Amino acid sequence: MARREAKVAQAAEINCQFETSAARYTDCPEPGGPEVAFVGRSNAGKSSTLNRIARARVARVSKTPGRTQLINFFAVPGGGRLVDLPGYGYARTAKSKRASWGSAIDAYLNGREVLTLAVIVMDMRHPLMPHDEAMIDWCTASGTAALVILNKADKLKQGERAKTLRAVSTALEERATVLPFSAQTGFGSNRVLEVIRTALATEV
């Protein structure tokens, strides 16, 4: 009985509100509490994942890759921020702009000491692409906790889902927590919320 009560105590979302956007690292707000940053290939579903977690349309979602071009900060009332970063691996943008995205992400990752968790969002149908591997290598080298979200699980059959989850978990070993998820249906939300909540409760 007591166990059941403990289980229902958590809300189904992390309440957050849009705070500000930064085109360059120098425009980022003063570091405050712990930050959880969403990274991943363009179109993998970073913004959709953030919206599912917030249970609100706080971030902009698009069918066209490259939608999120700024670093967007969402404040969590209890302290800390969720940070939606532009996607990587998308080539159809003017070179100069692409270069500045790249350096803004790079500067954010390397400069932001309050970063406590990198949420690496992947399309479950195409996991561990070269940029994703590089991001995991960066997390390992910098000692940053990594959560790999295998998003769009709704696009796979149960058997394929299990197979992909096993393959990615085996490939990464203890370098990241790996969870299947669907921003569209909410599949896997509870475990994702748990990992993010823990990161937001970290002292920085």
Ligand X SMILES: Nc1nc2c(ncn2[C@@H]2O[C@H](COP(=O)(O)OP(=O)(O)OP(=O)(O)O)[C@@H](O)[C@H]2O)c(=O)[nH]1
Report the interface residues with Mg ion, using CB under 5 A.
46-47, 67-68
Interaction residues for ligand X, span 93-152 (CB under 6 A): 151-152
Shortest gap between Cβ of 63 and ligand X (angstroms)? Answer: 4
Shortest gap between Cβ of 5 and ligand X (angstroms)? Answer: 31
Of 45, 80, 127, 180, the one binding ligand X by CB under 6 A: 45
Of 155, 166, 175, 191, the one binding ligand X by CB under 6 A: 155
Put the strands of the sheet holding 71-75 in their side by side order.
Answer: 17-22, 71-75, 81-84, 35-40, 115-123, 145-151, 177-180
Binding to ligand X by CB under 6 A, coded x per residue (else -) over 11-40, reads -----------------------------x
If the CB atoms of residues 128 and 204 are measured against ligand X, the closer one turns out to be: 128
Shortest gap between Cβ of 4 and ligand X (angstroms)? Answer: 29
Shortest gap between Cβ of 142 and ligand X (angstroms)? Answer: 22
- HEC sequence for the chain: CHHHHHHHCCCCCCCCEEEEEECCHHHCCCCCCCEEEEEEECCCCHHHHHHHHHCCCCCCCCCCCCCCCCEEEEECCCCCEEEECCCECCCCCCHHHHHHHHHHHHHHHHHCCCEEEEEEEEECCCCCCHHHHHHHHHHHHHCCEEEEEEECHHHCCHHHHHHHHHHHHHHHHHHCEEEECCCCCCCCHHHHHHHHHHHHCCCC
44 binding ligand X? (CB under 6 A): yes
Q: CB under 5 to 8 A by kind: which of Mg ion, ligand X, none does 152 bind?
A: ligand X
If the CB atoms of residues 151 and 189 are measured against Mg ion, the closer one turns out to be: 151
154 binding ligand X? (CB under 6 A): yes
If the CB atoms of residues 34 and 188 are measured against ligand X, the closer one turns out to be: 188
Interaction residues for ligand X, span 64-93 (CB under 6 A): 65-68, 86-87
The one-letter amino acid code at 135 reads M
Distances in Å between the Cα of 103 and the Cα atoms of 58, 114, 134, 171 are: 25, 19, 15, 28
* Residues of the shown chain interacting with ligand X in the complex, contacts defined by CB under 6 A: 40, 42-48, 61-63, 65-68, 86-87, 151-152, 154-155, 182-184
